[in-house]
Amino acid sequence: MAAATPSAASGSSLGLDSALLLNGQKAVTILHNGTPYRLQATKLGKLILTK
């Protein structure tokens, strides 16, 4: 698993490997400003973020 690294596109952004967020799970909940969002990996390797 890769560690957080600066994004090549923007020096102020962080890039995270999705495997770090998912931690072996198919879906995880991410809290943003107190609101839960669901990040889900599909069978085709795509990511879906829903509120």
- Give the separation between CA 7 and CA 29, rounded to whole angstroms: 23
- Give the separation between CA 32 and CA 44, rounded to whole angstroms: 26
- Specify the pLDDT at position 12: 76
Residue 50 identity (one-letter amino acid) = T
Give residue-wise pLDDT tens across range 18-44: 999 999 999 999 999 999 999 999 999
- Give the separation between CA 7 and CA 2, rounded to whole angstroms: 13
CATH 2.10.70.10 fits 18-50, yes or no: yes
Which residues are bridge partners to 37 per DSSP?
A: 30
Contact status, residue 38 vs residue 31, Cβ threshold 8 Å: no
Q: Global pTM?
A: 0.70
Element (H, E) at 17: none
